[in-house]
């Protein structure tokens, strides 16, 4: 009795196993379960999505000026708020620089002392000149008196006559000495005054030069505009207490009527992007706002992503040729860059292309099962690959590799076709909106089809 029960249990298990195999076999051989893709001719675009930010196309940079023989190095004492609308001549920033202010005060004191010294010297010299001129006039009077006494020489004794002659000679000698001393004093006076005047002129030049630096400590707006503060060495916007020196930017006054887009690309993305590639923009902060442009410049030198990092980023400048609403400076934008575009080609999903025996193959659906077919692939994107040979429009291909039992036939391309160079011609990169996926082009901005 027990033996029969065990035999019956084994039979049931065997039956269940056989039925499971039949179901599994049936499912495996059911090609209707596989997802498929129908080929068709269309436009192929290889795009790259990178984030960027808007910058003014033109702006006035406000920097700490430099001077011949002078240098500014101080801290911010006052600065306006970032994004303030300023008028021409309005104070933007005041720099505290004790060295320059102290130098200016000392030079002014030196100038005042020199001017005072000049006035004192002139007074002293004028006094000496007046005294000497008085002595000259006294001597002239004495000489005239002696000359009048000379008329009496004929009536004097020889000794008295000799005394009078000696007095006349002495008066003449003193007159000549006083005249020479007067001339010498005038020359000395002119020389001393000229020396002091030269020193005063030199001090005035120094005062003017230092005053120019003192005036430069107060930064004013050169024109009306929106003031965007510069970034300090700490990585934040400038604020009170930050260090500023000659040549250091303080702020910019952008011309917000025209913008460009700056893109920070990784090295791998940088290599894919070319000058004149078309760009389509969207703005997170401005839903519905879109724009177009093209790549203008690529910086050949990368910068570390952050201090000590080996990862580099590269600056790329792009134009903003058309936009629904002009964004403000600093707005982030999603940049869809069109790397390659071709028209009227068959492009299939990447997942539908398989590698087998150094060949690219697809699995074409037939009435029963699938046909493994060799194809020639050309350019590709992250999602699609262009097929240049091996597929026709309207054929249905599997998106996943079918079971071996479903593959009924296999087709290999002839050598003449395999060795033939690809004939897919890349169409010129459009400068505006051509090739942008439908639904992304704002109304009224669709370009005319060539």
Which carries the bigger pLDDT value, residue 98 or residue 129? 98
Provide, rounded to the nearest whole percent, the portion of the chain with pLDDT above 90.
32
Please tell me whether residues 226 and 91 are part of one structural domain: yes
Identify the domain boundary among 216, 233, 266: 216
State phi, psi for 101 to the nearest 5 degrees.
-65, -40
Contact 371, 331 (CB under 8 A): no
- Is residue 293 over pLDDT 60? yes
Cα separations (Å) of 332 from 52, 99, 375? 6, 42, 42
pLDDT at 152 > cutoff 70: no
Average pLDDT over residues 235-263: 88
pTM comes to 0.50
Q: Please give the backbone phi and psi of residue 389, each rounded to the nearest 5 degrees, phi first.
A: -160, 145
- pLDDT, tens digit, 9 for 90 and up, residues 126-151: 777 777 677 777 766 666 666 665 55
SS3 359: strand
Same-domain status, 64 and 209 = no
Instruction: Tell me if 111 is assigned to some domain.
Output: yes
* Residue-wise pLDDT tens digits, 160-199: 667 666 766 676 677 677 677 767 767 777 777 788 888 8
Give the strand pairing for 259-266 and 41-56.
antiparallel
Q: How far is CA 298 from CA 170, 178, 332, in A?
A: 98, 86, 19
Please give the average per-residue pLDDT across 217-226, as a whole number.
Answer: 90
Q: Is residue 150 part of a domain?
A: yes
Q: Looking at the 3D structure of the chain, how many domains does it have?
A: 2
Residues 270-297, mean pLDDT to the nearest whole number: 93
Which of residues 432 and 54 earns the better pLDDT score? 54
CATH number, domain of 84, equals 2.40.50
State CA 328 to chain mean position distance.
17
Place of tokens 């008329």: 151
Chain length of the chain: 450
Same domain for 79 and 63: yes
* SS3 state at 434: coil
pLDDT at residue 429, as a whole number: 42
Residue 438 scores a pLDDT above 60: no
Residue position matching structure tokens 């001597």: 139
Greater confidence (231 vs 193) lies with 231
Is the CB of residue 396 less than 8 Å from the CB of residue 36? yes
Report if residue 227 sits inside a domain: yes
| In a shared domain, residues 227 and 89 | yes
Cα dihedral sign, 234-237-242-243: positive
Q: Is the pLDDT of residue 423 over 60?
A: no
Model pLDDT, residue 210: 87
The confidence score (pLDDT) of residue 439 equals 41
pLDDT of residue 142: 66
- Within this chain, do residues 89 and 226 fall inside the same structural domain, yes or no? yes
Report the alpha-carbon angle 333-337-342, nearest 5: 150
The arithmetic mean of pLDDT across residues 195-216, rounded, is: 88
Whether residue 168 is found in the same domain as residue 240: no
What's the confidence (pLDDT) of residue 75?
A: 92
The predicted model gives 251-261 an average pLDDT of: 86
Helix or strand holding residue 86 (H, E): strand 84-86
Same domain, 108 and 197: yes
124: pLDDT strictly greater than 80: no
Q: What is the 3-state secondary structure (H, E, C) of 60-111?
A: EEEECCCECCECCEEEEEEECCCCEEECCCCEEEEEECHHHHHHHHHHHHHH
Residue 14 belongs to a domain: no
Asked if residue 145 and residue 203 are part of one domain, the reply reads yes
The answer to whether position 206 is within a domain reads: yes
What local confidence, expressed as pLDDT, does residue 437 receive?
Answer: 43
pLDDT at 23 over 70: no
The pLDDT score that the predictor gives to residue 290 is 94
Q: Is the pLDDT of residue 301 over 50?
A: yes
- Domain presence at residue 424: no
For residue 24, pLDDT beyond 70: no
DSSP-based three-state secondary structure for 25: helix
Structure confidence at residue 19 (pLDDT): 56
Domain match, 197 and 164 both: yes
**CB contact at 8 A, 55 and 262:** yes
Range of the domain at 173: 99-216
**CB contact at 8 A, 70 and 209:** yes
C-alpha torsion 268→270→272→274, nearest 10: -170
- The pLDDT score that the predictor gives to residue 131 is 72
Same domain, 128 and 199: yes
Mark whether 169 and 145 lie in a shared domain: yes
In a domain, 128, yes or no: yes
pLDDT-based confidence at 77, cuts 50/70/90?
Answer: very high
Indicate whether 153 and 191 sit together in one domain. Answer: yes
With cut-offs at 50, 70 and 90, classify the pLDDT of residue 324: very high
- At residue 345's C-alpha, the angle toward residues 339 and 349, to 5°, is 75
pLDDT in tens, 29-47: 555 678 999 999 998 888 8
Strand 407-411 and strand 370-380: pairing?
parallel
What is the chain's mean pLDDT, rounded? 80
Nearest alpha carbon to residue 319 among 255, 261, 276: 261
């Amino acid at each position: 009795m027990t033996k029969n029960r065990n035999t019956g249990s084994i039979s049931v298990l065997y039956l269940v196993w056989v039925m499971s195999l039949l179901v599994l076999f049936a499912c495996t051989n059911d090609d209707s379960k596989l997802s498929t893709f129908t080929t068709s001719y269309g436009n192929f675009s290889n795009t790259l999505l990178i984030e960027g930010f808007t910058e003014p196309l033109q702006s006035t940079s406000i920097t700490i000026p430099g001077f011949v023989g002078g240098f500014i190095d101080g801290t911010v004492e006052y600065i306006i708020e970032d994004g303030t609308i300023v008028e021409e001549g309005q104070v933007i920033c005041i720099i505290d620089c004790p060295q320059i202010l102290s130098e200016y005060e000392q030079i002014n004191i030196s100038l005042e002392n020199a001017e005072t010294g000049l006035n004192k010297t002139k007074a002293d010299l004028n006094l000496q000149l007046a005294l000497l001129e008085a002595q000259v006039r006294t001597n002239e009077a004495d000489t005239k008196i002696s000359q009048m006494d000379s008329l009496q020489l004929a009536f004097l004794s020889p000794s008295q006559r000799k005394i009078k002659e000696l007095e006349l000679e002495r008066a003449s000698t003193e007159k000549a000495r006083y005249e020479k001393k007067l001339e010498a004093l005038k020359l000395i006076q002119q020389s001393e005054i000229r020396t002091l005047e030269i020193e005063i002129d030199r001090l005035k030049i120094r005062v003017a030069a230092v005053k120019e630096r003192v005036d430069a400590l107060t930064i004013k707006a050169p024109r009306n505009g929106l003031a965007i503060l510069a970034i300090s060495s700490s990585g934040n916007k400038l604020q009170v207490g930050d260090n500023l020196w000659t040549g250091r930017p303080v702020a910019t006054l952008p011309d917000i009527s025209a913008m460009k887009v700056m893109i920070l690309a990784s090295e791998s993305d940088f290599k894919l992007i070319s000058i004149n590639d078309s760009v389509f923009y969207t703005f997170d902060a401005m839903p519905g706002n879109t724009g177009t442009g093209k790549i203008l410049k690529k910086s050949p030198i990368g910068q570390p992503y952050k201090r000590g990092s080996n990862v580099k980023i590269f600056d790329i400048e792009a134009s903003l040729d058309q936009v629904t609403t002009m964004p403000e400076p600093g707005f982030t934008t999603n940049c869809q860059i069109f790397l390659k575009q071709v028209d009227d080609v068959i492009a299939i999903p990447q997942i539908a292309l398989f590698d087998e025996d150094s060949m690219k193959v697809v699995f074409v659906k037939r009435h029963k099962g699938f046909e493994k077919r060799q194809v020639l692939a050309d350019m590709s994107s992250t999602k699609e690959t262009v097929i240049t040979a091996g597929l026709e429009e309207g054929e249905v291909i599997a998106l996943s590799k079918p079971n071996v039992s479903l593959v009924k036939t296999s087709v290999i391309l002839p050598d003449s076709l395999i060795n033939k160079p690809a004939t897919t011609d890349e169409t010129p990169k459009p400068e505006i909106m051509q090739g942008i996926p439908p639904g992304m082009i704002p109304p009224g901005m669709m370009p005319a089809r060539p």
